[in-house]
């Protein structure tokens, strides 16, 4: 018998074992096999026979990897929404969606107070009032949008994941400005989809060029390299401090001596040539 035939028979045997597993457990079983082919095959035989402990272990493994995939998918989705939101805001910087976002930003920055602070403390009271005002303004803005509840099905290994969702209820096509309104609805839905992951906080307005952008990293505060350079240049404090530092540096006796020696060395070197 050739080595190839033996190999094929081995694979057939493995395939037969995998087929005997309950649905959804073939993928984690293959992972176990790849980790350690010898003990993995033995483990797989026990699972195929329906041994409770082995099946449970595979189920836990499947659940963990499903969860990891779901989390990653949710993150990718959220990033996609955030980037679409930034695109919309760049073109519509004065619209309702910006107002909604600014209200939420202001709301989350209000410090939390204890019940006694809210009742007796001046700042506590003022913050509480401000919070209520902002919330009412936000509700009033959001109440102009109409969405209807819907259900999405997303593939999940061997079954479906049922997802609740909201679809925009758009006005009839004849309505003037329909396209703008549709874009606004979509942008608002994008914003809503980035709230849970916190990704919306990376959708920022560049303080230099005033354009909206999606910051790939949390630290990024300006939109581009050219704006970073402009920010640095515009920062007079930094420039003046640097100038002052250089001035005092060259006045330092040690530096002065070193520079004098350097000049001397250079001039003698030149004479030597
Ligand atoms: Zn910029």
pLDDT of residue 273: 44
**Cα of 94 from ligand 1 centre, angstroms:** 17
Q: Which residue, among 216, 179, 206, 181, has the nearest Cα to 97 in the 3D structure? A: 181
The rounded Å distance from CA 205 to ligand 1 centre is 8
Per-residue pLDDT at 188: 94
What's the CA-to-centroid distance between 223 and ligand 1, angstroms? 4
Ligand 1 geometric centre to CA of 188 (Å): 23
For residue 93, how far is its CA from the centre of ligand 1 (angstroms)?
14
CA of 218 relative to ligand 1 center, distance in Å: 16
CB 96 within 8 A of CB 137: no
Q: Give pTM, 2 decimals.
A: 0.66
CA distance 235 to 231: 6
Tens of pLDDT, residues 92-149: 999 999 999 999 999 999 988 877 777 778 888 899 999 999 999 999 999 988 888 9
- What pLDDT, on the 0 to 100 scale, is given for residue 172? 55
Report how far ligand 1's centroid is from the alpha carbon of 233 (Å): 14
Segment among 164-173, 207-216, 260-269 with least mean pLDDT: 164-173
- For ligand 1, the distance from its centroid to the CA atom of residue 212, given in whole angstroms, is 8
Quickly tell me which residue has 């195929």 as its tokens.
Answer: 48
Given a contact cutoff of 8 angstroms between Cβ atoms, the answer to whether 101 and 214 are in contact is no
Residue 179's contacts (CB-CB under 8 Å, 6 or more residues apart) are none
Cα(204) to ligand 1 centroid in Å equals 10
> What is the residue extent of each domain of the chain?
3-50, 76-111+121-219, 235-272
Q: What's the rounded mean pLDDT across residues 255-264? A: 87
Q: How far is the CA of 103 from the centre of ligand 1 (A)?
A: 22
Query: Treating both helix axes as pointing N-terminal to C-terminal, what angle do 96-108 and 178-195 enclose, rounded to 10 degrees?
Result: 20
The yes-or-no verdict on residue 272 having pLDDT over 80 is no
Cα of 206 vs centre of ligand 1, distance in Å, is 5
């Amino acid at each position: 018998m050739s080595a190839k035939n033996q190999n094929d028979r081995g694979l057939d045997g493995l395939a037969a074992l995998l087929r005997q597993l309950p649905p959804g457990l073939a993928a984690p079983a293959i992972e176990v096999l790849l980790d350690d082919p010898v003990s993995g095959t033995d483990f797989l035989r026990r699972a195929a026979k329906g041994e409770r402990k082995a099946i449970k272990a595979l189920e836990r493994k499947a659940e963990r990897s499903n969860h990891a995939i779901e989390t990653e998918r949710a993150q990718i989705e959220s990033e996609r929404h955030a980037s679409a939101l930034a695109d919309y805001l760049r073109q519509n910087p004065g619209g309702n969606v910006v107002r909604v976002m600014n209200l939420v930003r202001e709301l989350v920055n209000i410090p939390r107070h204890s019940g006694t602070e809210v009742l007796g403390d001046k700042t506590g009271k003022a913050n509480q009032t401000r919070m209520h005002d902002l919330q009412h303004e936000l509700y009033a803005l959001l109440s102009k949008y109409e969405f209807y509840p819907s259900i999405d099905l997303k593939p999940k290994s061997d079954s479906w994941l049922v997802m609740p969702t909201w679809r925009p209820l758009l006005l009839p096509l004849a309505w003037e400005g329909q396209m703008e309104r549709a874009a606004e609805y979509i942008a608002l839905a994008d914003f809503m989809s980035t709230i849970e992951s916190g990704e919306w906080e990376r959708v920022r307005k560049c303080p230099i060029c005033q354009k909206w952008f999606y910051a790939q990293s949390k630290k990024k505060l300006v939109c581009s390299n050219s704006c970073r350079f402009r920010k640095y240049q515009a920062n007079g404090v930094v420039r003046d401090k640097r100038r002052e530092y250089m001035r005092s540096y060259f006045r330092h006796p040690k530096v002065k001596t070193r520079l004098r020696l350097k000049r001397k060395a250079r001039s003698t070197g030149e004479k030597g040539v």
